[in-house]
Amino acid sequence: MYTLGIYLYIAFVKLAALFGHKKAASMLKGHKEIFSLLKEKVKPGTDYVWFHASSLGEFEQGRPMIEKLRAEHPEYRVVLTFFSPSGYNPAKNYQQADIVCYLPFDTKRNVRRFLDILNPKMAFFIKYEFWINFLSGLKKRNVPVYSVSSIFRKEQTFFKPWGGRYRLALHSFNHLFVQNDKSKELLRSIGVTNATVVGDTRFDRVIKILEQARQLPLVDAFVEGERKVFVVGSSWGEDEAIYMPYFNRHREWKMIIASHEVDDERVKRIREQYEGRCVRYTKATMEDVREADCLIIDCYGLLSSIYRYGDVAYVGGGFGVGIHNVLEAAVYGVPVFFGPNNRKFQEAQALKACGGGIEIANTIALAEKMDSFAADAHALETAGRAAGNYVADNAGASAKIFKALGL
């Protein structure tokens, strides 16, 4: 049934591409190039370490390990694969990997072809990646394979009566490096005992981002003066409905908005909602930003550096499918606001518990918290410090994994 499901998924992707679905078409194009790319670039006799990530978020979790491996073990070459176009497209030119491509669809034939060409020394599957045929193929070839930054919940298939095949797949891992004690306990309940709690490698990643944060002269000019700055990251329309009314009334705050989408229509909708002076980053001059109340970041790649300019941060997604990366903001030692859809995000729960994260249910709750921070500078500073300390205290997962593996 599993392999049949894979073939049905392939048929669905082909059909979607045929009807003009851009992501499906992009995926199919990348899949057609996998084996020719591998045959061209894989050098016989070379030791390859294979990292697999589903999408961009998992890639960010894998980056600390990839970069640590390259720095400490230059004898290895790195192959990085993705399931999703949203991971592959932004990372296809990643310089720390020798080869970047899609993961072939998980059929037995594809598994044989992929492993015959690559013959990896070891493999790392990041977070939620559990491809049964690939795991079986690696085990049959005695290739060590590890699950990294994985997290388990009782509602997952592994822990259901019908999840036998998925439970069996977990035994293909030589070791599972999980994020928390609950995950380890759940694994133990189904007979998987080769698990160690090391935390989340994303903490290592955001600390590296902090160290490499870019200086942005236009943003430097925008934040000059006495007014505090509210930074919005990865926001959607539902988020604007929550925070925009407050800042239309309170011009003593400046805003920087880095929406999840940056197309012209999205920027237009943001500008229509804000009643103050608003400028686009890519079209602004130094004079423009000094006179503006709101700076819209209308390009990708800057958000992780933008958060450093904030006194308070807001991370979007919490009024939709789920919040985006709150650690990117928290690492700078600022309090982080986010919407109510955060229950499945361990880091959001921990930030709320330590006082560095604030769940916002509606416009009234946001206004009350903003007013309290405006009236009490010590409370603002304390919340920010709590957020920064939480990130610093939880770093080090990559080093623990490397130590456990003797790397």
Domain boundaries, the chain: 2-208+396-405, 215-391
Residue 281 DSSP one-character state: G
| Distance separating alpha carbons of residues 73 and 395, to the nearest angstrom | 21
Which pLDDT score is estimated for 1?
78
Question: Residue 43: its pLDDT value, please?
Answer: 94
Averaged pLDDT, 115-128: 96
The residue ranges of DSSP E strands in 173-270, in sequence order, are: 175-178, 195-197, 228-235, 253-259
- Edge-first strand listing for the sheet containing 145-150: 99-102, 77-82, 48-53, 122-126, 145-150, 175-178, 195-197
One-letter identity of residue 87 = G
Residue 202 banded pLDDT, cuts 50, 70, 90: very high
Q: Say what percent of the chain tops pLDDT 90.
A: 86
pLDDT over 90 at 23, yes or no? no
**Per-residue confidence at 284, pLDDT binned at 50, 70, 90?**
very high
- In the predicted model, is pLDDT for residue 135 greater than 90? yes
pLDDT at 67 over 90: yes
Average pLDDT of the residues in 195-206? 96
**pLDDT number for residue 40:** 96
CATH number for the segment(s) 215-391:
3.40.50.2000
Give me the mean pLDDT over the 123-130 stretch.
93
Lowest model confidence (mean pLDDT) among 85-89, 93-97, 145-149: 85-89
Look at residue 335 and tell me whether its pLDDT is greater than 90: yes
Average pLDDT, integer, range 357-368: 97
pLDDT at 137 over 90: yes
Which CATH number does the domain 2-208+396-405 belong to among 3.40.50.11720, 3.40.50.10860, 3.30.390.10, 3.40.190.10?
Answer: 3.40.50.11720
Tokens at 3, concatenated:
């392999």
* pTM assigned to the model: 0.86
pLDDT above 90 for 20: no
Both structure tokens of 311: 């006194």
Can you tell me the mean pLDDT for 246-262?
Answer: 94
Model confidence band, residue 381 (pLDDT cutoffs 50, 70, 90): very high
The confidence score (pLDDT) of residue 86 equals 82
d(CA 355, CA 336): 9
- The answer, yes or no, to whether residue 196 has pLDDT greater than 90, is yes
pLDDT band at 90 (very low <50, low <70, confident <90, very high): confident
Residue 19 pLDDT class (50, 70, 90 cuts): confident
Residue where the block lists tokens 């939620």: 128
